[in-house]
Amino acid sequence: MKTLILDGSLECDRIGGFAVAALKADLARRGSTSEVVALRDKKIGNCMGDFYCWFKSPGKCHVADDNQEISRKYLESDLVIFLSPVTFGGYSPTLKRMVDHMIQNTLPFFATHSGEIHHQQRYESYPDVLTIGWQHEPDKEAATVFRHLAWRNSINFYAKVHACGILSGNQADRVLEAELHRLLDQLEGHESDAVPLLPVINPSSAIPVSPRRALLLVGSPRLDKSTSSSLGSYLFEQLNQYGIETETIYLYKAINSAERMEALREAIAMADLAVLAFPLYVDTLPAPVISVLEDVVAHCKGKTKPTRFSAIVNCGFPEASQNESSVALCAGFARAAGFEWMGGLSLGAGEGVVRALPLKELGGQGAPLRKALEIAAGELAKGQPVSDSVQELLSRPLMPQWLYKLGGTVGWKMRARKFGTQKQLKARPYQKAVYS
């Protein structure tokens, strides 16, 4: 068996280093070859959500950095092990940056898989997946969110067998080693984890106080030409009508400048309400957005006045339920930052319906979205969490699944025609048989 270990830890992380050494030794005893890729040492750019890996250079990211070779090794493996510290219930930005590039290994076209709409397989087979996270202090809620994310990823990765384990910094080495051994035994026995349930995360019960300043954080690489910006901007237009002062910061601009990052920290310190609007990237937040949230916790925790925090997430699949892991992660960030969680808003088929247009231009099709955001603005303006009824309204399917699948097929073929790649859309650049 050929195993690839993708190490998403930082240098000198004791648990990460121990896990790598213990896994390699155990795999060798089982007769498996293994290779470790320390992602912190690799050049992997941020996925920019341009979908060029689907219609410009089908099956391969057009940015020729280390993500291409890692993708090849991934598909040539029988088992891939993801290693990461648990970050708000998700992966570290170091691991997530590579995971974001995994979309190149699927097709743009849609199929029903596990009762939901997902992208079709590009390859005939994919490796089994073992996801291992660790916490320096036990946090049951974050651990449960991490397991849920790992399960969701296993669906999109088409892993036949998948498992997830959580290690803790307060465990003795022999206990850590035993848990890693157990997980490898589970994979060897072809036994997948049961579907994990997300914890019930209730919004803040603090006394409502109307905000004076609200900050919109747009977490899309497309900046103001994004569905995230369209949704967030409409919400903030409504907040402005309640006399709330508003400001917008595009996170992909901030991450490239120390000066802008400092301005972002100051804006958060001044805000009574912060709202993060972002697209779903492989079941959770894009890697750069996670990096920003880590920075906020590191620099702003305990230094800000009480801040309320909410999130708007949109995914490319029609089911808003596929956003659940990411919403739970946002709640985990709010807890880590000492913010009051005001609930999340979740939209399915955002890319296909909104298409980055101002919501006012969507006519009747955009009416449910506008209504939901208008009600949400009224609630947030009163210092109240987003209600369940608003979340239910926003998450209703905007079109039948058959129409969404058909529109996706036609749309991707039309985009490929501009690059003359319509006959190569199902290419398999990392096909194992070619390199065996």
pLDDT of residue 43: 98
Structure tokens at 43: 């050049």
- Give the type of residue at 384: Q
Closest CA to 129 of 88, 91, 74: 74
Phi/psi of residue 149, nearest 5 degrees:
-65, -45
Phi/psi of residue 280, nearest 5 degrees:
-75, 125
Give the integer Cα–Cα distance in Å for 150 and 194.
Answer: 12
Which DSSP string corresponds to 300-322?
A: HTTTS---EEEEEEE-SSS-GGG
Under 8 Å between Cβ of 219 and 293: no
pLDDT of residue 434: 42
pTM of the model: 0.96
Structure tokens at 202: 């209730």
pLDDT of residue 269: 92
pLDDT of residue 353: 84
Do the first three CATH levels of 2-188 and 213-395 match, i.e. the same topology?
Answer: yes
DSSP conformational letter for 361: G
Beta-strand pair 116-121/106-113: antiparallel
**Distances from the Cα of 144 to the Cαs of 31, 126, 159, 175, 221, in angstroms?**
32, 25, 20, 20, 29
Which ranges of the chain have pLDDT less than 50? 434-436
Please state the length of the chain. Answer: 436
Burial (CB count <10 Å: 0-12, 13-18, 19+), residue 125: exposed
Using one digit for the tens of pLDDT, what is the confidence trace for 313-368? 999 999 999 999 999 999 999 999 999 999 999 999 888 889 899 999 999 889 99
pLDDT of residue 436: 37
- Which fold, 213-395? Rossmann fold (3.40.50)
- With residue 134 as reference, give the H or E element that holds it: strand 128-135
Q: What angle do CA 302, 308, 309 make, to 5 degrees?
A: 100
Closest CA to 287 of 57, 15, 39: 39
Structure tokens at 2: 């050929």
Alpha carbon 170 to chain centroid distance? 28
- The Cβ of residue 69 has, within 10 Å, a number of other Cβ atoms equal to 13
Question: What are the structural domain ranges in the chain?
Answer: 2-188, 213-395
Using the CB atoms, write b or e for 17-36: b if 16+ within 10 Å.
ebbbebbbebbeeeebebeb
CATH entry, 2-188, from 3.30.930.10, 3.10.580.10, 3.40.50.720, 3.40.50.360:
3.40.50.360
pLDDT of residue 304: 67
Give the integer Cα–Cα distance in Å for 302 and 298.
Answer: 10
Give the integer Cα–Cα distance in Å for 157 and 161.
Answer: 11
Helix residue ranges per DSSP H, 338-423: 350-353, 367-381, 388-395, 401-417
- With residue 113 as reference, give the H or E element that holds it: strand 106-113
pLDDT of residue 401: 82
Give the integer Cα–Cα distance in Å for 70 and 38.
Answer: 11
Give the integer Cα–Cα distance in Å for 101 and 430.
Answer: 14
Q: Provide the sign of the torsion angle of the four alpha carbons 323, 163, 177, 174, taken in this order.
A: positive
